[in-house]
């Protein structure tokens, strides 16, 4: 069953669309009709749809902003524009605004309309898959370096706007190379996956955890009240990663060294902030690992390590 939202103000065109799709023998279309965009946006915000069939000329909107508003409400839903005008430049602009296809009313029969809708759904899925692969680490499923930088830029802007500090953590695993050297890269890869899972368990859903490459991870803690909040998370991470991992017959003990800087107390650009966190991380590693260290411009809050895990 394909759930389709038809946003169309002309009742004759809406009925024709229903009749055409009812004749398609391969899939069933469950059609919800919205006569104006406002109604369509309300339904998109409330229910799940597989595709939107969208007229650009509606009583409460007109033109390409119609596509923009639909995608702003439900960015994951494929949009097929159904227009009364065979306008090639407009069709190209609609695709550039995020629509998956542009169809002219009255052109083509049942097969043409149904296949266009189904192909639009598949194109959207393929597009999202490619976007996911470009933004995520394939081994751990965490976001990658490129998306992390984008997230950090936006987090810094929110921090300034809302006057809420954020913490940037750079994490490097201790003794990970020895695992690869003695047990092999397959075990090392499994260990990285388990580390990623534990890191996610140590932070809130609103926080960001990324894999930067190798055995290096990063985290953004947003909306913190101050150093005390960061200390809680840092201690939790050190304790979690210090707890031995069970992988097949192997009981593996590693640690993690964490460098931390606070923004906007450390009011630098993104590259300088990451350098500060990296410098603090190396300081933690030089102190023996399995500990955290703050960058000095944050007022030199305590560095440390939790009690050893038994």
The catalytic residues are 215
- Which residues, listed in sequence order, are joined to residue 260 by a DSSP beta bridge? 169, 294
Q: By the 8 A CB rule, do 244 and 225 touch?
A: no
Question: For residues 21 and 266, what is the distance between their CA atoms, to the nearest angstrom?
Answer: 59
Task: Calculate the alpha carbon distances from 272 to 36, 144, 218, 278, 304 in Å.
Answer: 49, 19, 15, 10, 23
Question: For residues 183 and 206, what is the distance between their CA atoms, to the nearest angstrom?
Answer: 35
Instruction: Extract the runs of DSSP E, i.e. beta strands, from 192-303.
Output: 208-213, 216-221, 245-247, 250-252, 255-263, 291-294
DSSP SS3 for 27: coil
Query: Half-sphere exposure of 198 toward its Cβ, with a 13 Å CA cutoff?
Result: 22
**Element holding 84 (H helix, E strand):** none
Question: For residues 146 and 210, what is the distance between their CA atoms, to the nearest angstrom?
Answer: 10
- Which residues, listed in sequence order, are joined to residue 247 by a DSSP beta bridge? 250
Contacts within 8 Å (CB) and 24+ apart, 278-283: 278/170, 280/170, 281/170, 281/171, 281/172, 281/257, 282/257, 283/259
């Amino acid at each position: 069953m394909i759930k389709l939202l038809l946003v169309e103000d002309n009742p004759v065109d809406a009925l024709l669309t229903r009749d055409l799709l009812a004749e398609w023998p391969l899939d069933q279309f469950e059609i919800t009709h919205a006569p104006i965009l406002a109604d369509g946006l309300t339904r998109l915000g409330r229910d799940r749809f597989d595709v939107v069939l969208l007229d650009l000329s509606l009583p409460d909107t007109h033109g390409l902003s119609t596509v923009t508003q639909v995608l702003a409400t439900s960015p994951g839903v494929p949009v097929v524009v159904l227009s009364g005008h065979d306008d090639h430049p407009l069709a190209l602009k609609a695709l550039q605004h995020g629509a998956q296809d542009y169809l002219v009313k009255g052109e083509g029969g049942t097969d043409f309309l149904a296949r266009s809708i189904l192909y639009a759904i598949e194109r959207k899925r393929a597009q999202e898959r490619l976007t996911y692969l470009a933004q995520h680490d394939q081994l751990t499923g965490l976001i990658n370096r490129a998306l992390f930088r984008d997230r950090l830029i936006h987090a810094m802007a929110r921090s300034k706007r809302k006057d809420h500090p954020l913490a940037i953590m750079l994490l490097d695993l201790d003794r990970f190379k020895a695992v690869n050297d003695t047990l092999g890269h397959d075990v090392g890869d499994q260990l990285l996956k388990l580390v990623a899972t534990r890191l996610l368990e140590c932070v809130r859903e609103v926080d960001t955890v990324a894999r930067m490459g190798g055995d290096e991870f990063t985290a953004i803690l947003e909306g913190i009240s101050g150093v005390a909040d960061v200390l809680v998370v840092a201690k939790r991470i050190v304790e979690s990663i210090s707890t031995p991992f069970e992988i097949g017959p192997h009981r593996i003990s590693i640690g993690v060294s964490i460098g931390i800087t606070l923004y906007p107390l450390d009011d630098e650009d993104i590259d300088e902030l990451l350098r500060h966190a990296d410098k603090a991380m190396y300081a933690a590693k030089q102190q023996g690992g399995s500990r955290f260290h703050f960058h000095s411009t944050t007022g030199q809050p305590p560095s440390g390590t939790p009690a050893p895990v038994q």
